[in-house]
Amino acid sequence: MAKVKVLAFNGSPRAGGNTATMLAALAEGVMVAGGEIEIVRICDLAIQPCVACGGCDETGECVLVDDMTQLYEKIIAADRVVLASPIYFYGITAQAKALVDRTQALWNRWRLPGGPGRRSVDPARRGLLLAVAATSGAKVFDGAILTSKYAFDAMGFAYGGELLVRGLEQRLDAAARPEVLREAGEHGRKLLAILSA
Ligand SMILES: Cc1cc2nc3c(=O)[nH]c(=O)nc-3n(C[C@H](O)[C@H](O)[C@H](O)COP(=O)(O)O)c2cc1C
């Protein structure tokens, strides 16, 4: 049987930071459960922001040609997706948001007549939000949750929940919190445990 494919986006520009550490722990859980995972560091890619040209309204294809072009196919081929980002000003990072805005083309692709139609046919196709923040504010993740819910919908994934960790500020803070790393591994295993209908 083919392995379950998890596609994980790391929206942090900080190499080896908290998001990367959490994702590595999550990846361990995915692999222990028998899945495969590809982690894409968004900041290593050139992804232009959406220019609202309306091109994808007509065709479902984005007119911009850059590193996002190859990601559309990866998103379509994935069984699970993870959007991971630190909180910047109560939202995801600008780099992660550029990727999210470009998924408008996928949303149009499903919608257009003659297209592949409604995409969330398989309830196992879920998206998980992983977000880290320095502060402990009650609303610190609200923006990221809303953005990721609609991003997953555009990508063709049902919302599969979130792993949110407060109090991570310095680069190695997550590495010093074994309990949050364990929780990340657990989320990786749980992602694999979701079954198709
Ligand atoms: C530009 C910028 C904005 C930030 N805004 C917030 C914020 O609004 N709330 C918060 O709790 N932390 C904020 N932070 C802190 C980061 O979310 C935190 O340091 C996080 O652990 C970084 O994750 P990383 O190591 O994966 O990059 C901000 C950091 C930067 C650089």
pLDDT digit string, tens, across residues 60-75: 999 999 999 999 999 9
* 91: helix, strand or coil: strand
Per-residue pLDDT, 113 = 83
Residue 90 near ligand 1, beta carbon < 6 Å: yes
Q: What distance in angstroms lies between residue 85's CA and the mean position of ligand 1's atoms? A: 9
Cα(8)–Cα(130) distance, rounded to whole angstroms? 10
Write the CB contacts of 97 (distance below 8 Å, at least 6 apart in sequence): 49, 91, 147
- Please report the atom of ligand 1 found closest to the CA of residue 90: 8
pLDDT band, very low/low/confident/very high, at 108 (cuts 50, 70, 90): very high
Q: What distance in angstroms lies between residue 166's CA and the mean position of ligand 1's atoms? A: 10
Ordered structural domains, the chain, with CATH: 5-193 (3.40.50.360)
Could you report the per-residue pLDDT of 9-30, keeping only the tens digit for each?
Answer: 999 999 999 999 999 999 999 9
Residue 17 near ligand 1, beta carbon < 6 Å: yes
Cβ 108 vs Cβ 60: under 8 Å: yes
Cα(192)–Cα(28) distance, rounded to whole angstroms? 12
For range 52-56, the mean pLDDT: 97
Q: What distance in angstroms lies between residue 165's CA and the mean position of ligand 1's atoms? A: 11
- pTM for the model stands at 0.96
